[in-house]
Amino acid sequence: MKKLLLILTCLATFSIAAQTQTVTIDWSFGSNSDVTPTTDPTNADRTIEVGDTVIWNYYATGTHTVTSSSGSTETWDSGFISSGAGVTYQRTFTSVGTNPYVCTPHSGNMYGVITVVPEGSLSVSTFEEASKKISIYPNPASNQLNINLPSLLEGEYTIDVFNVLGKKIFSKNTSGQNNKIPVLDWDDGVYLIKITSEKEGKSITKKFVKI
């Protein structure tokens, strides 16, 4: 009974996806709403949820600001910041609305819009849809566990394995679809496998039995 309670507690803890996310914009000359494709890191438009944080990465050269424009739902001004390795400015958005912004000395070619939607509006993600097709086999297993990630899953993923006491006993970063984990030396029992998308900051937890 104690083991069952521990398992249920772990499942409740590890199945909770990240409630907030952080997105990054590469911020320098030419970073604006017109950059294509829209997935380019210098495209300065983002749609996020309430509570999410935007980081502007001063990745190139120049001295720039991140300043809200007239009509923005939220008002802010980073002040002048000189670019350099690791130099950033960040803001967490707390209100639903539209937030146009500029670099004040370079407003003609550095501008964007942060659109903030209610929390949960973007929860149906590529990861959540694709994660339904993750396969873990054989289960139970005694020698080797196979974890296959569907092709819809892109980017880097972390695979963490926890025992029923919540102790992490295995961790692996991967971008591959087929992942093999040796389990021969593990104790018999129930384990929790947590797979996390580095891109989306979301996780899914599955149960595995070692025999």
CATH of the domain at 183: 2.60.40.3080
Would you say residue 12 lies in a domain?
A: no
Report how many domains make up the chain.
Answer: 2
Q: Give whole-number Cα distances, 27 to 20, 74, 75, 85, 102, in Å.
A: 22, 20, 19, 12, 10
Q: Mark whether 77 and 136 lie in a shared domain.
A: no
Q: Mark whether 102 and 64 lie in a shared domain.
A: yes
Last residue of a domain, one of 90, 117, 144: 117
Phi, psi of 58 (to 5 degrees): -80, 75
Per-residue confidence at 115, pLDDT binned at 50, 70, 90?
very high
Last residue of a domain, one of 117, 133, 164: 117
| Tens digit of each residue's pLDDT (9 = 90 or more) over 57-104 | 999 999 999 999 999 999 999 999 999 999 999 999 999 999 999 999
Phi, psi of 150 (to 5 degrees): -65, 155
Last residue of a domain, one of 76, 92, 117: 117
pTM of the predicted model, to two decimals?
0.54
Phi-psi region of 74 (alpha: psi -120 to 50; beta: other; left: phi over 0): beta
Domain that holds residue 176: 124-210
Average pLDDT over the chain reads 86
Would you say residue 152 lies in a domain?
A: yes
Q: Mark whether 169 and 106 lie in a shared domain.
A: no
CATH code for the domain in which residue 70 is found: 2.60.40.420
Q: Mark whether 113 and 133 lie in a shared domain.
A: no
pLDDT reported for residue 19:
58
Q: Mark whether 53 and 97 lie in a shared domain.
A: yes
Would you say residue 1 lies in a domain?
A: no
Would you say residue 103 lies in a domain?
A: yes
pLDDT reported for residue 10:
45
β-pairing, 111-117 with 46-49? parallel
Between CA 16 and CA 30 the distance in angstroms is 38
Least confident stretch, 51-60, 81-90, 141-150:
141-150
Q: Mark whether 158 and 189 lie in a shared domain.
A: yes
| Tens digit of each residue's pLDDT (9 = 90 or more) over 155-200 | 788 999 999 888 999 999 988 888 999 999 999 999 999 988 877 7
**pLDDT(203) > 80:** yes
Between CA 175 and CA 19 the distance in angstroms is 23
| Tens digit of each residue's pLDDT (9 = 90 or more) over 12-21 | 443 334 457 8
Q: Mark whether 86 and 109 lie in a shared domain.
A: yes
Which has the closest alpha carbon to 196: 147, 150, 157, 151? 157
